[in-house]
Amino acid sequence: MHTSHQALPWHASLRSDAAQALGRVLRNENGVCRNSQLLGAVTGAVSGGLGMLAGVLKSSGNWPLAILASVAFTLAFLGLMGLAWLRPLWFSGRPAVALSALTGGLAAALGMTLGLSRAPVGHGLPWREQMDGLLTAARIGLPMPLLLSFALLLVVILTASQRREHMARELALAQSRADQEQAKREASEARLRLLQAQIQPHFIFNTLAAVQHWVDTGDARASPLLRQLSSFLRGSAELMLRPQVSLAEELSLVQAYLGVMQARWGERLRFSLDIDAACAAAAHLPPGIVLSLVENALEHGIAPTLNGAELHLQLTARPGGGWRLLVEDSGVGLAEGWQEGLGLGNSRARLQGFFGERAALQLSRREDGPGTRVCLQLHTGDGSERTAEAPIQPT
């Protein structure tokens, strides 16, 4: 990567990346592909070095110079390839252009020097002949250095660009993995929140206080309340662990909850259910959403009333496919300037993730009297096909 995480100076981070890369090669971690690139680079470097050795030897007969040149070339080539690999961004775009210009310039200078040393141009000659002389020198001296340097540059830049593509691919892969992880985490968090909401102390301890009292006084209401409470807690724990449940299962959980609340509140909670059983069995959705709508109706709609209110639940199949669930209460209704809370936002997000645009959740004031009306609709299908194709399945 271009910059290391710990903000080391560039040479330190370069060294550390090089060490890591070398280590991976030595441990043969990256498979044949990467190692063949390394093999290519080494071969190129070595043969280039040998060529350089032969060439310099032939032209100057000087062994030390030849060896020096050859070693210098080999190391420089390997170094350049290494840099291209570790820091591809230094060899792309504008830096690449600058590098090419620089290389070209240097090679030309070297070439001209060599050419002029072979075919010197006298200074006293008229300018046209000087030009000719220069051209000759260029013809002699330029081709090889230019060819060589641009060949090298090409190899280095190609390596860098290939490495950059590779890094981009890895980044995309990591990103998509991160997105999946994120989605999984969000789903788990949502489930945890729901579970926590279910087990909220206020709910538990108020219910237990009622049970305690009725047990102490031998009141017959104790037993059914305890049964409803167990059934609710067990049901919510089971359902929350699954990615989706049938509406029938969700509604039976809702009924256990309502049973507990009615035992506690007595006359202050009156409720009625009108459920199309076939529709409920066939429809599927993420668990806990309908329950949280009912909890909201009780907590924000009915609890604040002094004398209690009614709750009505209705599930009907839509004629063109899909279903409609209504949760209506005759409580205090939505306040002026009321805003959606986190719970509703979370429910919407989960519905969106499961149904896409096909599901709609709407809250409004009731038309015939005080209270709130919540309408959850699925437009087509029953959601069951979603099980086969849901892209993200939290486990």
Partner 1 sequence: MTTAIRTLIADDEEGPREQLRAALQRLCPELDIVAASRHGVDAWDDFLEHEPQVCFLDINMPGLTGIEVARRMAATARPPHVVFVTAYGDHALAAFDAGALDYVMKPVEDARLAQAIERLKTRLHQPAPDLQALLKQLLPMAASAAAVPKPRLIQASLGREVKMIDPQDVVYFESDNRYTRVVYDGGEALIRTPLKELLATLDADLFWQVHRSVLVNSRSIASAIRVDENTMQLTLKGREEKLPVSRQFQGLFKGQ
Q: Taking CB under 8 A as the rule, does residue 217 contact partner 1?
A: yes
Instruction: Report whether 336 contacts 365 (CB < 8 A).
Output: no
All residues at 6 or more sequence positions from 330 whose CB lies less than 8 Å from its CB, including other chains:
301, 309, 310, 311, 366, 369, 370, 371
Report the C-alpha gap between 66 and 74 in whole angstroms: 12
Cβ distance to partner 1 smaller for residue 221 or 358: 221
Pick one of 146, 197, 317, 332: the residue that binds partner 1 (CB under 8 A).
Answer: 332
Cβ distance to partner 1 smaller for residue 268 or 358: 268
Q: Taking CB under 8 A as the rule, does residue 277 contact partner 1?
A: no
Question: Among residue numbers 94 through 153, which ones bind partner 1 (CB under 8 A)?
Answer: none
Cβ distance to partner 1 smaller for residue 303 or 317: 303
Pick one of 11, 336, 357, 388: the residue that binds partner 1 (CB under 8 A).
Answer: 336
Q: Taking CB under 8 A as the rule, does residue 264 contact partner 1?
A: yes
Residue matched to tokens 């194709």: 389
Please state the closest distance from residue 366 (CB atom) to partner 1, in A. Answer: 16
Pick one of 205, 242, 281, 349: the residue that binds partner 1 (CB under 8 A).
Answer: 205
CA separation, residue 223 to residues 112, 218, 228, 260, 316 (Å): 104, 10, 9, 11, 34
Please state the closest distance from residue 195 (CB atom) to partner 1, in A. Answer: 17
Report the C-alpha gap between 12 and 23 in whole angstroms: 16
Pick one of 32, 202, 319, 389: the residue that binds partner 1 (CB under 8 A).
Answer: 202
Give the number of residues in contact with partner 1, rule: CB under 8 A. Answer: 26
Pick one of 201, 320, 356, 391: the residue that binds partner 1 (CB under 8 A).
Answer: 201
Please state the closest distance from residue 299 (CB atom) to partner 1, in A. Answer: 7
DSSP-derived secondary structure letter, 325: E
* DSSP reduced 3-state for 341: coil
Cβ distance to partner 1 smaller for residue 72 or 199: 199
Cβ distance to partner 1 smaller for residue 111 or 333: 333
| β pairing state of 309-317 and 269-275 | parallel
Q: Taking CB under 8 A as the rule, does residue 218 contact partner 1?
A: no
Site string for partner 1, 51-90 (x = CB under 8 A): ----------------------------------------
CA separation, residue 34 to residues 21, 29, 40, 199 (Å): 10, 9, 10, 54
Q: Which of 279, 193, 291, 195 is nearest to 238 (CA)?
A: 195
What share of residues in the chain are helix, strand, coil (percent, to 5)?
Answer: 70, 10, 20
Cβ distance to partner 1 smaller for residue 42 or 334: 334
Please state the closest distance from residue 340 (CB atom) to partner 1, in A. Answer: 16
Report the C-alpha gap between 236 and 253 in whole angstroms: 7
Site string for partner 1, 278-317 (x = CB under 8 A): ---------------------x---xxxx-----------
Cβ distance to partner 1 smaller for residue 3 or 217: 217
Report the C-alpha gap between 209 and 186 in whole angstroms: 35
Please state the closest distance from residue 210 (CB atom) to partner 1, in A. Answer: 2
Q: Which of 147, 143, 141 is nearest to 118 (CA)?
A: 141
Q: Taking CB under 8 A as the rule, does residue 209 contact partner 1?
A: yes
Strands (E) located in the chain: 245-246, 269-275, 284-285, 309-317, 323-329, 359-365, 372-378
Q: By the criterion CB under 8 A, which residues form the site for partner 1?
A: 201-202, 204-214, 216-217, 264-266, 299, 303-306, 332, 335-336
